[in-house]
Amino acid sequence: MLGLPGGVTVCLFDLDGVLTQTAKVHAAAWKEMFDAFLRDRAAGRDEAFAPFEPVHDYDEYVDGRPRADGVRSFLASRGIELPEGQSDDPADAATVSGLGTRKNEIVLKMIREQGVEAYDGSVRYVKAARDGGLRRCVVSSSSNCREVLAAAGIADLFDEIIDGKVASAQKLAGKPAPDTYLAGARAVGETADHAAVFEDALVGVEAGRAGNFAIVIGIDRVGQAAQLKAHGADIVVGDLAELLEAP
């Protein structure tokens, strides 16, 4: 009933765009932060301002990546280099860490003001996995993962959480490396060949494929089914509820 191969005992879920409707909030926060930075930089250099593209730039450079990696990746696409700075750099620091801090402040403000909604189909699926005896773990690059799960009212549906804070503490490489997903499987006492990965980000499905998991399920919320397949998804659905209806 879950649309999974035999032998799968663990479900590893990404957060933003898979469980919660926060991917669009993150995309808006990245755009607000980068546009302010790019506008100031262009004005200071007497150059034309080229804004952050909330679909292409988000999907290609920041979606699913740890925050600092997202900053570096997008800046590199524009040929911009900044000092790394320190993890506690303030939001006005012209460093990779400073831009990351600025983005995090924006997204937390948006979440506080707008709240967080879970996808109904995903909640139904997770509950079905629980009732079927499968272990469930959230694997997210976000350091705000626990707060988002609590705000959405679904934190109690999961056995373990591997988030940005855990990844930092354990020195796990971010997606597209498989390290965080492998850590999720270990956290519930299983190995990759018994685990299913659920992802909406291109780097996330790459991570699932690199880790040799039993199945990588892509969730297409924005019309990129072909890209998800190309990056490593075994199957692609528009919503997890589709798997409950699969023969």
Domain residue ranges in the chain? 10-21+116-244, 24-114
pLDDT tens digits in sequence order for the chain, 247 residues long: 799 999 999 999 999 999 999 888 889 999 999 999 999 999 999 999 999 998 899 989 998 888 999 999 999 999 999 999 998 999 999 999 999 999 999 998 998 888 889 999 999 999 999 999 999 999 999 888 998 999 899 999 999 999 999 999 999 999 999 999 999 999 999 999 999 999 999 999 999 999 999 999 999 998 999 999 999 999 999 999 999 986 5
The whole-angstrom separation of Cα 31 and Cα 70 is 12
The whole-angstrom separation of Cα 202 and Cα 39 is 28
pLDDT of residue 246: 65
Which residue, 85, 84, 77, 152, is CA-closest to 120? 152
Q: Choosing from 14, 59, 69, 234, which is the catalytic residue?
A: 14
**Is 14 marked active-site?**
yes
Span between the terminal Cα atoms of the chain, in Å? 7
Amino acid (one-letter) located at 109:
K
pLDDT of residue 247: 59
pLDDT of residue 112: 86
The whole-angstrom separation of Cα 142 and Cα 107 is 11
pLDDT of residue 114: 86
* CATH number for region 24-114: 1.10.150
| b (16+ CB within 10 A) / e for 80-106 | eebeebeeebeeebebbbbbbbbbbeb
pLDDT of residue 152: 93
pLDDT of residue 11: 98
CATH fold for the domain made of 10-21+116-244: Rossmann fold (3.40.50)
**Is 16 marked active-site?**
yes
**Quick one: DSSP state of residue 133?**
T
Q: Choosing from 16, 63, 89, 220, which is the catalytic residue?
A: 16
The alpha-helical segments, DSSP class H, found in 115-218 are 120-131, 145-152, 164-170, 179-187, 202-210
